[in-house]
Amino acid sequence: MTALICGSIAFDTIMVYKDRFGNHILPDKVHILNVCFVVPELRREFGGCGGNVAYNLQLLGGKGLLLGTVGDDFEPYRRWMDRHGIDRSHVHQIPDSYTAQAFITSDLDDNQITAFHPGAMGYSVNFPIPLDAGISIGLVAPDGYDGMMSHAQQFSDAGVPFIFDPGQNIPLFSGEELRRLIGQCSYLTVNDYECELIQNRTGLSLDELTRQVQALIVTRGGSGSYIYTGGQRLEIPAAPVSQVVDPTGCGDAYRAGLLYGIMVGLDWETTGRIASLAGAIKIEKPGTQNHYFDPASFQDRFQQAFGYRF
């Protein structure tokens, strides 16, 4: 099976604040918020939701194609993708533009504040999904608004099942648009905050959301995740970690695990645990694509974490 990953390709400037945002934000003064967080650590990394998912899926041994748009400054990221075997035959360079840029600050509680310049990402709508590429499953991850709407419609029209991962782009969509996108996808994945936000924006209850899709996956950070499917709520434990270094990109690693499990036909309990372990391995390293494993070492660690092999 081949997955088509539609999502952002970005440079991430990552900063770690060695304190908690909540210690310095007064809840009753957020309407006049003016804060400065001193960040002694700063790194520029290869990232973007699409790029991160493609990297992790490649590590797991899954076959993925990345569909996205980049700018004139893409060259170092291109070399990185080529070095790691990421298929970029559907990555399109937009002249006179920057590759998308994210500026991410994380605190000790894994909260994040992000500023984002979309750049070339806004042109993703100009490039339709390649229906002649043997795609069996898709992912619509955070990307340009028009591109996300268009690619979801194209997957739906072609009868290709796909995961919808709205992520931090939820505020871009109206309640009606979110209901349409959820109705088109086969699988919906969000974190617990995003799940609440979608319910508020769409007016759909949790039970109504679960009836719309084959599976609703809700990640809960260090508390694991829930997978709602077949009238059940499966509780997926968090995989053990040796150290918590940087949460940035953990959700993308988790989604690569979901894609992999679906692609190879595994049950949801195992698929969720693969996703959980992928996220755990990522959190032990800074940045979004600085961790590494191969399928054999992943299997060994999976057995250590969960007591069986898949």
pLDDT tens-digit map of 15-26: 889 999 989 887
The answer to whether position 52 is within a domain reads yes
Query: From CA 245, how far away is CA 283, in angstroms rounded?
Result: 6
Give every residue of the chain whose pLDDT is below 50, as ranges: none
Element (H, E) at 228: strand 225-229
The answer to whether position 30 is within a domain reads no
Q: What one-character DSSP code corresponds to residue 13?
A: E
Per-residue confidence (pLDDT) for residue 248, from 0 to 100? 85
- Residue 260 sits in a domain whose CATH number is 3.40.1190.20
Number of domains in the chain: 1
The answer to whether position 159 is within a domain reads yes
Per-residue confidence (pLDDT) for residue 259, from 0 to 100? 98
The answer to whether position 32 is within a domain reads no
Element (H, E) at 50: helix 49-60
Contact 227, 262 (CB under 8 A): no
Query: From CA 195, how far away is CA 221, in angstroms rounded?
Result: 13
pLDDT tens-digit map of 159-215: 999 999 999 899 999 999 999 999 999 999 999 999 999 999 999 999 999 999 999
In sequence order, which residues have a C-beta less than 8 Å from that of residue 29 and are 6 or more positions away? none
| pTM for the full predicted model | 0.90
Q: What is the DSSP string of 245-285?
A: ---TTHHHHHHHHHHHHHHTT--HHHHHHHHHHHHHHHHTS
Contact 53, 256 (CB under 8 A): yes
Backbone angles phi, psi at 253, to 5 degrees: -60, -40
The answer to whether position 31 is within a domain reads no
Contact 185, 163 (CB under 8 A): yes
Domain limits at 87? 2-25+37-306
In sequence order, which residues have a C-beta less than 8 Å from that of residue 108 and are 6 or more positions away? 17, 18, 19, 20
